[in-house]
A = this chain, B = another copy of it.
């Protein structure tokens, strides 16, 4: 087998999601008219010659991979896929507008289930100021594959990318990450001893994430934020995306990460490390943004006043590579995105 053959016969799971994206992006890297940002970002930024840039993003929910049918209602599933897409637009500083929903389902499903799914999609889109404008229906053998494309708009001067962090910038995180990971654990292990309210909150965080749309919009409009991303692959994973795209490194002080009481209780009950869940759990849909250190206090105050959302500085952008995380017991360097590897582990 020659080198080219070996390269082609590598399995997807060996190079993972991000390795595969890198190879596809390299293959299709030629300049394309009207494409401001293309493959490799969560959101494509397109120039339609209108007053605003068009944003386009898509995300899927595959039964047995991203969800188990008996652990989520169809209404929640619809809201979930909508929220995940809204979160990507939020992290660009944009406004969601129109969604296309592509659904592959077994013919044996009840129509009421599908209607509930669309009701959830429609409600979450309406919350974000968007509507369902079209889509596609296909038959599928036994599982549900739900794919949502969301279009949004952003004024060119308000667009925030992941690739524009600057050395010396503060790294700031909204909310308390890790609750989605804890919720997933509680779905998997219903026997864990926890109060009903804690259990419910954490499972809700996993099933129905709340995208930080108002926060993203305010941050983008402040003109002070240099880069932004939403937390889908985990705090460290998504910070690594910022670093890789910006050509920087980052130092993170794990002590700066906000840990909610509920997360602490769940991790204790599960015998897990709450900081591990908070830093690499993923699917929190919080925002990570970078900004000059002197702007952080006013940005935090602005978010608190206008949305009630707290945020914490968790680190600094550096001239290095990768993310250095300071723990009480020492420093750990992370160079490659771990987070949730879509080709590694099963969920639900």
Indicate whether A115 sits within 8 Å of B8 (C-beta atoms), given known contacts A32-B131, A66-B138, A102-B147: yes
Task: Mark out the residues of chain A between 1 and 56 whose CB falls within 8 Å of any chain B CB in the assembled complex.
Answer: 7-13, 15, 17, 20-21, 23-24, 27-28, 32-35, 38-39, 41, 43-44, 46, 48-52, 54, 56
Assess whether A140 is interfacial by the CB under 8 Å rule. Answer: yes
Assess whether A271 is interfacial by the CB under 8 Å rule. Answer: no
- For A41, the chain B residues whose CB sits under 8 A away are 134
- For A97, the chain B residues whose CB sits under 8 A away are 33-34, 46
Assess whether A109 is interfacial by the CB under 8 Å rule. Answer: yes
Complex Cα distance, B44 from A46, in Å, reads: 18
Most chain B CB within 10 A, of A62, A133, A149, is at: A133
Smallest CB–CB gap between A292 and chain B, Å? Answer: 30
Smallest CB–CB gap between A15 and chain B, Å? Answer: 6
Assess the A138–B342 pair: CB atoms within 8 A.
yes
Indicate whether A7 sits within 8 Å of B112 (C-beta atoms), given known contacts A27-B118, A27-B119, A145-B145: yes
Complex Cα distance, B139 from A94, in Å, reads: 28
Assess the B50–A110 pair: CB atoms within 8 A.
no
Smallest CB–CB gap between A62 and chain B, Å? Answer: 5
On chain A, which size bracket covers the interface?
35 or more
Assess the B57–A134 pair: CB atoms within 8 A.
yes
Most chain B CB within 10 A, of A15, A34, A54, A135, is at: A135
Complex Cα distance, B343 from A32, in Å, reads: 37
Assess the B21–A137 pair: CB atoms within 8 A.
yes
Task: Mark out the residues of chain A between 183 and 226 whose CB falls within 8 Å of any chain B CB in the assembled complex.
Answer: none
Assess the A110–B9 pair: CB atoms within 8 A.
yes
- Report the copy number of this chain in the oligomer: 2
Smallest CB–CB gap between A77 and chain B, Å? Answer: 15
Task: Mark out the residues of chain A between 83 and 136 whose CB falls within 8 Å of any chain B CB in the assembled complex.
Answer: 97-98, 100, 102, 104-112, 114-115, 118-119, 122, 131-136
Assess the B134–A98 pair: CB atoms within 8 A.
no
Assess whether A143 is interfacial by the CB under 8 Å rule. Answer: yes
Assess the B24–A118 pair: CB atoms within 8 A.
yes
Return the CB mask of A147-191 against B: 1 if under 8 Å, else 0.
Answer: 101010100000000000000000000000000000000000000
- For A105, the chain B residues whose CB sits under 8 A away are 12
Assess whether A141 is interfacial by the CB under 8 Å rule. Answer: yes
Indicate whether A109 sits within 8 Å of B58 (C-beta atoms), given known contacts A34-B97, A118-B28: no
Most chain B CB within 10 A, of A15, A57, A104, is at: A104
Assess the A131–B35 pair: CB atoms within 8 A.
yes
Assess whether A265 is interfacial by the CB under 8 Å rule. Answer: no
Indicate whether A138 sits within 8 Å of B62 (C-beta atoms), given known contacts A20-B111, A110-B11: yes
Complex Cα distance, B50 from A153, in Å, reads: 12
Assess whether A262 is interfacial by the CB under 8 Å rule. Answer: no
Q: Taking CB as reference atom, which chain B residue is nearest A46?
A: B98
Contacts A/B (CB < 8 Å), 24 sampled: A8-B110, A9-B111, A10-B112, A11-B108, A12-B111, A24-B114, A27-B122, A28-B122, A33-B131, A38-B134, A43-B134, A44-B133, A54-B151, A56-B133, A56-B134, A56-B151, A57-B100, A58-B135, A58-B147, A59-B102, A65-B140, A100-B149, A137-B342, A149-B149
Which 8 pairs between the two chains have the least Cβ-Cβ distance?
A50-B50, A8-B112, A13-B107, A32-B131, A44-B134, A107-B343, A44-B133, A149-B149
